[in-house]
Each structure stands twice: as structure tokens, then as C-alpha cells.
A and B are shown apart, each in its own frame.
Chain A
Amino acid sequence: AQSVTQPDIHITVSEGASLELRCNYSYGATPYLFWYVQSPGQGLQLLLKYFSGDTLVQGIKGFEAEFKRSQSSFNLRKPSVHWSDAAEYFCAVGAGASPGTALIFGKGTTLSVSS
């Protein structure tokens, strides 16, 4: 069965510092991988996705993620964090071959940004 693990429940980063959020997945084949962000009182917004090809994917808001098959990881990175990046971040895995096959989400990592 598919599963997603986000080992860090809460991370605090200084504004301007770099960020890496960890995500490990379990799936028998190459999965579809996603990172979403959720601000308080809002729904989830897609940051980026990996389907195939280049293992380093670029997303919105200056985020990027790297797929490492050997480590079953898909870590999210940002070189310089802004205060507005404080939010909850979710990694998700999907293997659907047709619409309607839903994603499996991790428990999320809450990012706090200190000044």
C-alpha cells in the first residue's frame, strides 16, 4: 500500500535562511509526487509535482523538490525563506491511472518563520 511519511511535525526557520522539508514515500513503482501548502483557514494549494523525467522540479513561490528513487524521498527546498512562507506543508503520493484515484497525504509539517 502507498504511504507518505513527513518526519518533522514542526520546523522553525529564520527569515532568509534555507529550508528543507522531508518526505519519504512507500510505493512499488514510480509514483506521482506532490507538495501542497495550506495557510490558516485555507484549502491546499499545489506547489509542485513530479511525474517523470528530470528529478529536480521547480514549483511556485521559489520552491523546488528533488526526487531520489534510491532513498524513496521527495524533499522540498527553498533557498531563502520569507515570513509569508509560514504555513503547513503536505507531501502526497498518487498512483492513479485514471481520474478519481485520490492522493495519499502525509501528516504535514508546520513551518514557522522567525525574524
Chain B
Amino acid sequence: ETGVTQTPRHLVMGMTNKKSLKCEQHLGHNAMYWYKQSAKKPLELMFVYNFKEQTENNSVPSRFSPECPNSSHLFLHLHTLQPEDSALYLCASSPEGEGAPLHFGNGTRLTVT
């Protein structure tokens, strides 16, 4: 149990589908993040939310749409994805304080066909 739960664990979708990834944290943290992890590449920060407000959008294509209804939940809505979007999508949260470490979920393995 990591304290950060992601669903689904695996997702296969066609390029015309619409799907959503869900992340939930029970750690009382106020910041939540989406990272993309592709093979042989560093983790890529996608979005950051602090107290439900988006504080960073790291030049992510509009086919990825985040939503943060409260400090405990984070969604990533997906539509018209490309095969190169296939990756492990990791959600993380962090508490208040300088240099607070991230707590990660186990990720959603996304395959776009």
C-alpha cells in the first residue's frame, strides 16, 4: 500500500478513444503530479497541482487534459492519443515544506494501438 492509488493499472486504447486515468492519495498532501515514464528516457513532468490549482503545465499536448477536483484526487483525461503516448503514467503527491519528497503510485501502463 503506497498511500497513492492509481487506476486502472493497465489500459489499452485506440487512437480515437477517450479514457481517463485516476489517482487518489490518502496522505493529506496538498500537491499532486502527473509524470510520464517512457523506456530509456527520464521521467517527464507533465502537470503539477497545488491546493487544486494547476501550477505547472510542462508543454503537454492538449490531448492530455488534467483535472483536480480536490486535494485527494487527480485525473488525466485522454483523447485522440498517438502510439508514442504509450508509456507508464505515474501519479505522485507531496506534503508542504521545502524540498518535500514525492510519494508515487504504482502507475498506469498505457498502450495506444
Do residues B30 and A99 form an inter-chain contact, with CB atoms below 8 A? yes
**Bound form: Cα–Cα A103–B90 in Å:** 13
Give chain A nearest CB distance to B86 CB in angstroms.
16
Q: Interface residue tally of chain B, by bracket?
A: 20 to 34
**Bound form: Cα–Cα A43–B107 in Å:** 6
Do residues A43 and B96 form an inter-chain contact, with CB atoms below 8 A? no
Interface size on A, residues (CB 8 A): 27
Do residues B106 and A42 form an inter-chain contact, with CB atoms below 8 A? yes
Verify if A100 is at the interface (C-beta below 8 Å from B).
yes
Give chain B nearest CB distance to A101 CB in angstroms.
8
**Which of B95-113 touch A at CB < 8 Å?**
95-107, 109
**Which of A40-55 touch B at CB < 8 Å?**
41-46, 49, 51
B interface list, Cβ under 8 A from A: 2, 4, 6, 29-31, 33, 40-43, 45, 48-50, 55-56, 90, 92, 94-107, 109
Q: Which 10 A-B pairs have the closest CB atoms?
A: A32-B99, A100-B50, A43-B104, A99-B31, A100-B31, A105-B43, A44-B104, A43-B106, A100-B55, A102-B45
19 A-B contact pairs sorted by A residue (CB < 8 Å): A4-B42, A36-B104, A43-B6, A43-B104, A44-B92, A44-B104, A45-B104, A49-B101, A51-B98, A96-B100, A98-B50, A99-B94, A99-B100, A100-B30, A100-B49, A100-B94, A102-B33, A102-B48, A107-B42
